[in-house]
Amino acid sequence: MSVLGIVLFALVILISVSLHEAGHMGTAKAFGMRVTRYFVGFGPTLWSFRRGETEYGVKGIPLGGFVKIVGMTPQDEDADDPKAMWRFPVWKRSVVMSAGSVVHFILAGVAIWLLAIFSGLPNPALPNGPESQPAVLAVQPCVVKTLPLRECAANDPASPASQAGLRDGDKLVAVNGKPVATWGEAIEQIRPLAVGQTASMTVERDGGQQTVQISPAEVERKMTDGSVRKVAAIGVGLTSTVPYTVTYGPVDAVGASAKYAGSMVTATFEALKQFPQRIPALFSAIGGAERDPNTPISVVGISILGGEAVERGAWDMFTALFIGFNLFVGIFNLLPLLPLDGGHLFIAWFEKIRSWVYARLHKPDPGRVDYFKLMPLTYTVILIFGAFTLLTVTADLVNPISIYK
């Protein structure tokens, strides 16, 4: 099932990318631009047919797709064609160049809407996930002192919470007299406690409050930044009292989906900003260190995650990965860098604004940007993207991220 899931997610990626190129083709044709080729895959042609002026087909290497629009720049060999793309108004070229990303956004939006109806979206009452839950305790029989976390073994020490008489269902309301409202606040107050010294824990039980004295144990735990530190623990988990997800009707799902999409877009931009600082962790993962789940992944890595989701029947997770992939690709493709679509958009509007400024200054129009002069920068971007892709693929093969690790 894992292999089937990997293949299935890879197929989903291929379809998404093919629809991306179809977005370019459809809008270009609608505006009257000449489109000569549309292929799924790269390499040798397996099958093709011609309809009108366009050849459609499938190639042997299923790693994407492409569309050929005649004369994207004035320097192209076919730029003299009367239906060349560069001859059209900038707004039409902008629609064509952004159409691929728009397709990704539409795919993500539809998937979020379906998820909201059938599986549910994160509960808005829990903005920080489980950490927003009330601190209703599930008392563990032991404490696992070192990572990775696992089931209790015979040689694990008994948990301080069980020794102090805490029970499942107790609601922690204060630590050393300081109020606790959520599970996140409970963790923040317990972890810095002094090991070997007693701390008072006040809990609600059977309508009243009780205070017990607990001596925390020292354990290794992973922090939110991925580092591992020694902290205090008392051997308790969280009993969920508020549902993590909420389902919606078809109409209500529209607004909920829009809010959820907005939060994911924000998270995507944050992830893009953090890419450079995550690169050292990728090298460490390749060298054998534990893989930080916040490090970037390639299409190989996300396909492996999709395989895990299918293996465990977690189709909501599979859909969430599909959503994240499409939002990321849609946003990334609009970055103002050649050879990305965003680079072409940036140049088109740079030319438009520059011509407007020169006209207001009563100077001759400087004309079009010479793409040949930008080739060194373009090749540099391609080289950086290629090296980054190689790095992430290697990390995903050697030390992949796991949903359930």
pLDDT digits (tens, 9 = 90+) for 239-269: 988 898 999 999 999 999 999 999 999 999 9
Last residue of a domain, one of 238, 263, 287: 238
133 is a domain residue: yes
Same domain (yes/no): 220, 357: no
- In-domain check, residue 57: no
Residue 280 lies in a domain: yes
Same domain as 254, residue 217: no
Let me know: does 78 contact 69? Beta carbons within 8 Å: no
Domain containing residue 97: 2-34+70-123+249-398
How many domains is the chain built from? 2
In a domain? residue 65: no
Please give the share of the chain, as a percent, with pLDDT higher than 70: 99
Q: Is residue 321's pLDDT more than 90?
A: yes
What is residue 275's predicted lDDT score, i.e. its pLDDT? 86
Instruction: Give the pLDDT confidence score for residue 404 in this predicted structure.
Output: 66
- 391 contacts 282 by C-beta, under 8 angstroms: yes
Residues 219 and 293 in one domain: no
Residue 16: the pLDDT is 96
**Position 130 confidence tier, pLDDT thresholds 50, 70, 90:** confident
Instruction: Return mean pLDDT, the chain.
Output: 93
Give the pLDDT confidence score for residue 7 in this predicted structure: 93
Q: Is 370 part of any domain?
A: yes
CA triple 185-190-194, angle to 5 deg = 150
Are 230 and 356 members of one domain?
A: no
Domain final residue pick, 238, 269, 299: 238
Asked if residue 403 is part of any domain, the answer here is no
Average pLDDT value for residue range 132-139 = 94
CB atoms near residue 393 (< 10 Å): 15
pLDDT at 2 over 90: no
Tell me if 316 sits within 8 A of 359, measured CB to CB.
no
pTM: 0.85
Determine, yes or no, domain membership for 222. Answer: yes
The stretches of 177-251 forming alpha helices (DSSP H) are: 183-190
What is the per-residue pLDDT across 4-36, written as a single tens digit (0 to 9) for each?
999 999 999 999 999 999 999 999 999 999 999
Mean pLDDT of 300-313: 92
pLDDT over 90 percentage in the chain:
82
- Which of 21, 131, 270, 308 is an active site residue? 21
Residues 289 and 335 in one domain: yes
Coarse DSSP helix, strand, coil percentages of the chain, rounded to the nearest 5 percent: 45, 20, 35
Residues 135, 116 within the same domain? no
Provide mean pLDDT across the span 380-402: 93
Q: What is the dihedral of CA 31, 33, 34, 35, to 10 degrees?
A: -70
Residue 259 shares a structural domain with residue 118 = yes
Res 288 pLDDT > 90:
no
Structure-token pair, residue 278: 């995550």
d(CA 326, CA 101): 8
Residue 84 lies in a domain: yes
Residues 89-106 have pLDDT tens digits of: 999 999 999 999 999 999
**253 and 229 in a common domain:** no
Instruction: Let me know: does 41 contact 30? Beta carbons within 8 Å.
Output: no
Instruction: Tell me what pLDDT residue 226 has.
Output: 65
Q: What is the CATH number of the domain that holds 183?
A: 2.30.42.10
In angstroms, the Cα distances linking 126 to 119, 148, 173, 252 are: 17, 27, 18, 19
| 347 pLDDT higher than 80 | yes
270 is catalytic: no
Same-domain status, 189 and 95: no
Q: Is residue 319's pLDDT more than 80?
A: yes
Q: Under 8 Å CB-to-CB from 101, ≥6 apart: which residues?
A: 20, 329, 330, 331, 333, 334, 341
Quote the pLDDT of residue 224: 74
The C-alpha atoms of residue 112 and residue 257 are separated, in whole angstroms, by 6
Q: Which of 238, 264, 291 is the last residue of a domain?
A: 238
Q: Is the pLDDT of residue 403 over 80?
A: no
Query: For position 227, what pLDDT does the model report?
Result: 75
> Within this chain, do residues 207 and 106 fall inside the same structural domain, yes or no?
no
231 and 97 within one domain: no
User: Are 348 and 370 part of one and the same domain?
Assistant: yes
Closest listed residue to residue 108, CA positions, set 403, 329, 341: 329
